[in-house]
Structures are given as structure tokens and as C-alpha cells.
Amino acid sequence: MKQKSICIPKILKNISYILAPIFLAILVISAISVIFVEKTDKSLVYANSYYDTQSFKKDYLNSIQRKFNFVSGKKFEGGFTDTQETNINGKTGTIYYNTSVEGNFVYLIINKKEGIATTNVGHTMQTDTINEIKQTLRVNTKYWNYANKEIDTNFSSLTMENIKYESTFATIDNSGEEFEIYTTLVNNLPYNDDFAKNEFLYNLIITTYKMAPVLIIVSLIALAICLALILRGIGKTKKEGEVYLNWFDKWKIEIVILIGIILIYFGFLLCSISIEIPVTMFLIIGILAGVLCIYLTLILMLETIVKRLKSDTLIKTTIAYSIFKGAKSVIDNRNIVTKLILFYGLFCILGFFFTARMFQTRQPFIYAIFLLALGFLSFWYLFSRLREFEKIRKALKSIYEGNINIQLNPNEQKGVLKELSIYIQDIAGGLSNAVNESLKSERLKTELITNVSHDIKTPLTSIINYVDLLKKEKMPNEKCTEYLMILDNKSQRLKRLTEDLVEASKASSGNIKLKMEKLDVVELVKQVSGEFEDKFKERKLEEIMTLPETPIMITADGRYLYRVLENIYSNAAKYAMENTRVYLDVVAQKKSVVIQMKNISQEKLNISADELMQRFVRGEASRNTEGSGLGLSIASSLTELQGGKFHIYLDGDLFKVTIGFEREF
């Protein structure tokens, strides 16, 4: 099998497509981190973690304030999902469970005076009391608690000293000692809320800010290289200067741009929807899907635009160019167009006249009949021309399918369609004459080969018989014996050539009676292999066979299939390089069976596979071997007569033959 050569620019282009978005993302993130830190909040650089930033302090206090509203008699956001009566500050109170929205911020707020509490901890048998809820909150390591007007926290940014002047905390602190607030953040922030997003952004910004100068320079250089490789590799093929265009590259560029805009919009829409998803994993998947949709669309549009520019087809694939070509065609075919304008103009004038008169006269029925008649006549005229066109279409289809005996009468057509009919008839007649001449020539060649071979066979038989008689006589000297052996070899070779000529003639003309029956391919291959065992040993050829363990059945003529296998084995025995291996494989597939033989040629195969299949052609130019050059041609013809497929593949000095048949069960 011939190996495909590697197109290096195409491989580099594909690698660049993978690397370019990575470097672009690094560049954008680095630039944003620098701008954000320098222009917005330079204090981020001095914070030890996200929890030390002003942004975190503000978000956390706002979260406490929103949840504090309910117990202080204000609006309770989101409603509550369950309630539980319990002891609050020594009297019966109610816990309101609000688990409608999941998040990393978990709280318990108690109004001891009113005997109510609210929490977003789930209501279970282990969270029926205030103490049980507190115990649940202690599972998390980061917390902020407020009781008896004192703060207990491990957030350095939320200590009393840091927030006592904040208006949000002042609202809580002024409410008195009857309130207790217990809050915490879930370990590892598993939910996609503002805390998780902001921590991720903080870590990303700080990390990239420190390395931004190097990252920006490296990313710009890498992007420039990737862009150059992409532009060079787009449309590149193994043939120098050739640009590969696929079916999409032939679409109108306006349609391509419209589709691209729709897909890019869909990608942005998917990203915007995913941002609102609370689960981090699904958020990441959604954003990646949206970004991938946008990126692949941009690649598709870039590929098709660059390929059109390289092949000078960008302008030609626009709708404007098609309109221009259509207008030019109208001008070039002005005779047909003039008739169309006249007929259509007459139709419009008459139609307008009859319609106008129908509304102006007191007897509109008469003009309605005229209008109806005009429509019917126009339809009849178009329908009759369409039928004539359909006859021409069928005639062309018949010629395309190989049937040149068409029935097309130009006298039944009119105008341009009549001219087309005459042209089609002339083409069909020319094809018919060419086919008849080709068949006649092939038949004469076949008859000539058969007759000449038969005429040669009679005197050749006499020569062989007399040579056999001379071999039984005593020769006067060794020189005469040598001449006699040469004469014997040459006469036997001429006999084989004559027999091959007759067989090749019969095989190519199909003048063979086949006896089709079910055969076991594996068994037949083993028989042929056994006969050539000695010949292979003479040339030191090692046969490597790979055969199925079970019988593989096909329908063929056993005698002629044996001859096919015999020919390919004989070809290997004559032309394979000594001290090499010959591989014979029988590959059984679901619906077919393939017999393939591979070997290394003794001589250079400086011709194509098609040339090697022709008659009297051999792979070695010296023609010193005993072959006639007909073996492969005979094998191919016999295979095709039995319904099989015969192929030859050449790759350097590797010679490969495959024979395929339908499998029988």
C-alpha cells in the first residue's frame, strides 16, 4: 500500500490552531490583570488572600445585611421552605428554613426578643434546634459570628476594628443585644456564587499580574508565529502552488458570513446563560462549549476566506458577482431575452387591460373570461415548452448513462430547443460511430490473435516433435547438443506464448464458458502454494501465509480461479527479489473476501500499475525472463469474468496484488 506523504505546513497549521487560543487567553488575561490592578484596585497586590481584600469584606457584609432583614422585621428575600418550633432565649420560638437558593454563604440569624430565627441550613432531624444548627455551621473552617455586640471571626478583614465604621455593620450593631448572627463559608466554595467567582478571579489576576511583562511579550511573539503558520498552511496540499477547495468554499461568501454571525451569537448566548448556572462544573462546561463554538466558527470563516483569496475566488463567490454574471448572460443571449421580454410585456399589458376593464364596465364577466383565457394560453405555452425541454433532458441523461440510441426528433422542437436537439443528435451519432469503430477494432484484433496463434501452433508442434526425436539421437559433438537444448527451450517458450495469446484473447473477449460453484478459497490457495514450493526454494523465496482457520466460501469457476492464483504465484516466482519474503493473506470480511500477495521486485518498477496490467508488459526492462507479459492481464480478465475485482498497487519496489470476491455463507 502506497504511503501518503506528509504535508508539513498543514500539520503546523493544525498545531497552531491549538496553541493560538492558549496564547491569546494568556495575553488577554495578563493585560486585563495589569489594567485592573493599576487602574482599579492596587491594594490587591498587598493582600495575602482573597479574604483580605476590600471586595470580599463588602460582599460578605452585604450578604449578612440581606439575611438580617427578615429577623429585624424587614422583607425576607426568597421566602422560606420550612419552619420548626424550638426554644429561643428561654421561650418557644420559630426557626425559618430558607433553602430555596444554594450558595457558599451559610448563616443563622436569631432575634431573641421576637423569638424567631432564620437559616439556609437544610431542615433535618439533626437541625431541629438552634444548637444543632450551630454545630452544623462549625463544620466549616471560615466563620464570622456576632453575639452580645462582640465579633468572633477568623477573617482578618471582618474584625471589629476593620468594620466598625461600615454603615452595613452599624445597622446591625445599633439593633441591640437581642440579635445573634452566625455565618460561615462552605469549605472549598463548591457553589458557583459571587464568592467562588471572585476568589477565582483574584487568584487568576494576582498570578498573572506578577508574570504579566514576560507573558505579554512571549504571547505576542507566539501569536505572530501561529498566525503566520496558519495563513501559510490554509488550503495547502502536497502539490506546490495548489489550493484545496472543499464544497463549503464554493458557497456564497455572504451566506457564509451570515451563518458565522449566527453561530458566534449562539456561542456568546451559551456563555451568558452558563454564567448564571450555580454549579461550577456545569458553568465551566457551558462556557467551554460556547467558546469552542465561537472559535471553531472563526476558524471556519478564516479558512474559507483565506482559501478564496489564495485561489482568487473570493469575488467570484459573492452574490454581487453572480448578479453581474447573470446580467452579462442576459446581454450575451439578448435574442432569447428579447423574446422573453416581448412575451412577458405583452402578457402584462393584456392582463392589466382586461383587469382594468373588468372594474370599469357593467359587464365584467366578459373581460374575466378574456383574462382567464389569457392565463390558460400562457400556461399552455409554458407547459408545452417545458415538455420539449424535458425530452431534451431525458435524451442527455440517456447519453450520460451510456445509451446512445436516443429517440429525439428535432422537428418536434422550435427555436433554441430545436438547435439543442440537433446538437444532441449529432453528439449521439458521433458517439455511436466511435463505439462501433472501437468494438470493430477490438473484434478484429481478437480474431487476428486467435487466427495467428492457431496458424503458428501447427508448425510449432512439428518443430517440438522433431526436437524430441533429435534429443533421442546421439549428437556428433557437445556443440550440437547445446544448440539442440537452446532450440528446445525456445520452442517451448514459443508454445507457452502462443497458448497465453489464445487464452488472453478469450479472456478479454469473454469467450469462455464458466462453471460457477461454491469454492473454499483457503483450500485452493494451499493447493497453488504447494505447487510453487520448489520454485520458491530455487530462488530462495520464503512464503509467509496468513489464512483463516475456517473455510471461506465464494462463488467462482475453480479451474479459472486456480489459473488466476497460478499466474500471480508465477509472477512472484519470476520477478521477486531472491532471499526475500512473499506474503500471501486471505482476509475475510463481512460481505467480501480479499486475496492479497506482496513481494519485493528484483528490478526497479519504473512503470505505473495501469501500464503493468497491459498485455506484453513486464516489470523488468531487459526482458530476459521467460515470461510473456500476459500473466497479469489474463489474471485480471479471468477475475472480472467471474465477478471479482483485480487490482495492482506499486510503492517503490513493493509489488502488491489484490483479488476480491463476494463472500458466500
d(CA 464, CA 484): 11
All residues at 6 or more sequence positions from 119 whose CB lies less than 8 Å from its CB, including other chains: 95, 96, 97, 98, 106, 107, 108, 109, 127, 133
Question: pLDDT digits over 31-48, tens only?
Answer: 877 777 766 666 666 677
Higher pLDDT, 310 or 496: 310
Mean pLDDT (whole number) for 333-359: 72
pLDDT for the residue numbered 395: 78
Single-letter code of the amino acid located at 313: T
Q: Please report which confidence band the pLDDT of residue 93 belongs to, taking 50, 70 and 90 as the band edges.
A: confident
Give the SS3 label for residue 143: strand
Residue 619 scores a pLDDT above 50? no
d(CA 175, CA 141): 28
Question: pLDDT digits over 180-215, tens only?
Answer: 899 999 988 888 888 888 888 877 777 777 777 888
Residue 633 scores a pLDDT above 90? no
Q: What is the mean pLDDT of the chain?
A: 78
pLDDT for the residue numbered 658: 93
Homologous superfamily assigned to 512-664: Histidine kinase-like ATPase, C-terminal domain (3.30.565.10)
Residue 624 scores a pLDDT above 50? no
Question: pLDDT digits over 216-237, tens only?
Answer: 888 888 888 888 888 887 777 7
Please report, for the chain, the start and end positions of each structural domain, with discontinuous segments joined by +: 46-191, 333-400, 429-511, 512-664
- Please tell me which of 160-169, 229-238, 332-341, 651-660 the model is most confident about, judged by mean pLDDT: 651-660
Question: pLDDT digits over 406-444, tens only?
Answer: 766 777 666 666 767 777 777 776 666 666 676 666 666
pLDDT for the residue numbered 501: 60
- 507 φ/ψ angles, rounded to the nearest 5 degrees: -65, -45
Lowest mean pLDDT across 234-248, 511-525, 620-634: 620-634
All residues at 6 or more sequence positions from 264 whose CB lies less than 8 Å from its CB, including other chains: 293, 294, 297, 298
pLDDT for the residue numbered 176: 67
Mean pLDDT (whole number) for 515-536: 90
pLDDT for the residue numbered 216: 83
pLDDT for the residue numbered 453: 63
Mean pLDDT (whole number) for 361-384: 77
Q: Work out the end-to-end distance of the chain between its first and last CA atoms, rounded to an integer number of angstroms.
A: 29
- 85 φ/ψ angles, rounded to the nearest 5 degrees: -80, 135
* Domain at 429-511: CATH architecture: Orthogonal Bundle (1.10)
pLDDT for the residue numbered 144: 92
Question: pLDDT digits over 454-485, tens only?
Answer: 666 667 677 777 777 777 777 777 777 777 78
Mean pLDDT (whole number) for 103-125: 87
Q: Please report which confidence band the pLDDT of residue 611 belongs to, taking 50, 70 and 90 as the band edges.
A: low
